Amino acid sequence: MAIKNTNPLLCDPQTGVCEIPGTSSYESVEIPVVTQQKPLQVIYFTDPICSSCWGIEPQLRKLKQEYGDHFNIEYRMGGLLPSWDVYNSGAIAKPSDVAHHWDEVSAYFEMPIDGNVWLEDPLYSSYPPSIAFIAAKMQDIAKADKFFRRIKEMVFLEKKNITRPEHLREAAKEAGLELDLFEKDLKDKANELFAADLDYAHSLGVRSFPTLFFTNEAGDQRMLKGVRSFDRFENIVLDLCPGAEKKIFSNSLEDFCSNYPSFTTKEFAVITDRPMEEAEKILHEGIEKDLVEKIAVRNGDFWKRKLII
């Protein structure tokens, strides 16, 4: 039975979405075709604290690795949690209610999540990290992607309240951003651009995350909502871009570590096409080979490479 959703932080594992209360409408959506250097344009509506969005990290990473030459992806912020004053009803009425829910979501998606951040240092909103991502994107898209991944690791794995400036600054530094410019944009233009993202999502009727729109050069469009298997992502790419060729990569742990400095067991399993048990065995062997270190977190393991590339 699907969970009755009356709060945006109550993500339904079966549908794989975190949803803002209200009526969604996708049928009449027309996404503007963006001038692009690649055959496909992907617009991804997401939020830094969306647990279902964390749930599709394995599929997205694999899609980028195998078909990244054929699409551009643009991240748009959805504004999942404006404040607890706005969303304080239903099964999740206060921050502490999120902790148990994240445990359930973690088990369902097989992605480690430590919900105790909501008990120890709860976030008051998802807006500050969303605006911070936009500030990072204003400076450098590739570094912004690293920044976004890092703040998600912070909140889901390290129990860090990513509304706090010190954590955002730490992530910006690790991503290689110029810190003074980042903080200037964070206080200025990024707020306007974040408001524009919210308006854009509203204009398209997007109320649940993750939601991805795929558009090819002919203007043909497909929409994917929620946590889905990798095959669903791949089929959309091949449907809209029939000539897309998949890049073939070695699935050895050594080569994997050259591409991913940090990852979950599920990500390693999905990206290398292995069952979870086999992936865990190889990763634990990697500890003995001094390739990776394991960081035990609530509801799973997180890995960092030790291999010097």
What is the CATH classification number for the domain harbouring 108?
A: 3.40.30.10
Domain of 272 in residue numbering reads as 253-305
Do 112 and 184 reside in the same domain of the chain?
Answer: yes
Mean pLDDT over 170-189 rounds to 97
Do 204 and 262 reside in the same domain of the chain?
Answer: no
Do 195 and 62 reside in the same domain of the chain?
Answer: yes
Q: How many independent structural domains does the chain possess?
A: 2
Cα–Cα distance, 133 to 135 (Å, whole number): 5
Mean pLDDT over 130-134 rounds to 98
Q: Which residues contact 188 (CB under 8 A, 6 or more apart)?
A: none
Mean pLDDT over 84-88 rounds to 73
Is 226 a domain residue?
Answer: no
Do 59 and 202 reside in the same domain of the chain?
Answer: yes
Is 222 a domain residue?
Answer: no
Q: Which residues contact 47 (CB under 8 A, 6 or more apart)?
A: 18, 53, 77, 78, 79, 80, 81, 126, 130, 209
Do 158 and 296 reside in the same domain of the chain?
Answer: no
pLDDT of residue 1: 31
- Pick the more confident residue, 3 or 191: 191
pLDDT of residue 106: 96
Is 3 a domain residue?
Answer: no
Return the number of other C-beta atoms located less than 10 Å from residue 125's C-beta: 18
Do 66 and 202 reside in the same domain of the chain?
Answer: yes
Is 154 a domain residue?
Answer: yes
Do 201 and 260 reside in the same domain of the chain?
Answer: no
Ranges 9-23, 108-122, 166-180: which has the least confidence: 9-23
Is 232 a domain residue?
Answer: no
Is 95 a domain residue?
Answer: yes
- Quick one: tokens of 178? 């110029």
